Amino acid sequence: MKSISIYLSLILHRTDLLGPIHNFLLVFLGSSLILGSLGMVLLTNPIYSALSLGLVLVCISLFYILSNSHFVAAAQLFIYVGAINVLILFAVMFMNGSEYYKDFNLWTIGNGLTSLVCTSILVSLITTILDTSWYGIIWTTRSNQIIEQDLLSNSQQIGIHLAIDFFLPFEFISIILLVALIGAIVVARQ
């Protein structure tokens, strides 16, 4: 699975539409990301918010495909949408309608204060990001590259890094999964 831009250029037979199509897809995905996460926070029906979480996960996966990282996009689709979103939907449908707070008010004073604090954190972080000179940071990544990097595909590079640099976290993650599995079964049995 090569990059989408190569396919689009072959289909359209024009190479001067690559940039605008890329930009249009990025704007579309970004706007649906922000709308989905706003809907997840603000919607009152919990099934709607779980489905908008699914929309956010699929949009992030498409964004990873646009950034030429196909393995992480496929892993994201499988693990996040296929496992975590289904788990959350199962947990949401487990409760019936009488468990909501009937008088749930979104715009109380405490909630307004929380929104104000979060907005101020967001504004301060955005000004910090815009003021930092990201391109003045020294590139210290030359020692991490594999020798034949251009001949290998994306999955092969990730596999080499997992086997050499991330060997210990890989084993620890397998232990984490085993412990989580045993713990969930022990907690939830009769």
Which position among 48, 114, 153, 171 is part of the footprint of another protein (CB under 8 A)? 114
- Position 84: which residue type? I
Task: Return the range that interacts with another protein (CB under 8 A); candidates 2-10, 12-20, 125-133.
Answer: 125-133
Task: Return the range that interacts with another protein (CB under 8 A); candidates 1-9, 11-19, 167-175.
Answer: 167-175
Among residue numbers 27 through 66, which ones bind another protein (CB under 8 A)? 30, 33-34, 37-38, 40-41, 46, 49-50, 53, 56-57, 60, 63-64
What is the number of residues in the chain? 190
Determine the 3-state secondary structure of 168 from DSSP. Answer: helix
Determine the 3-state secondary structure of 6 from DSSP. Answer: helix
Among residue numbers 62 through 101, which ones bind another protein (CB under 8 A)? 63-64, 67-69, 71-72, 75-76, 79-80, 83-84, 87-88, 90-92, 94-95, 99-101
Q: How many CB atoms lie within 10 A of CB 3?
A: 13
If the CB atoms of residues 13 and 131 are measured against another protein, the closer one turns out to be 131
Calculate the dihedral angle through the C-alpha atoms of 24, 27, 30, 36, rounding to the nearest 10 degrees.
-80
Q: How many CB atoms lie within 10 A of CB 59?
A: 20
d(CA 40, CA 112): 18
> Could you tell me how many residues of this chain bind another protein (CB under 8 A)?
76
At its nearest, how many Å lie between another protein and the CB of residue 13?
Answer: 26
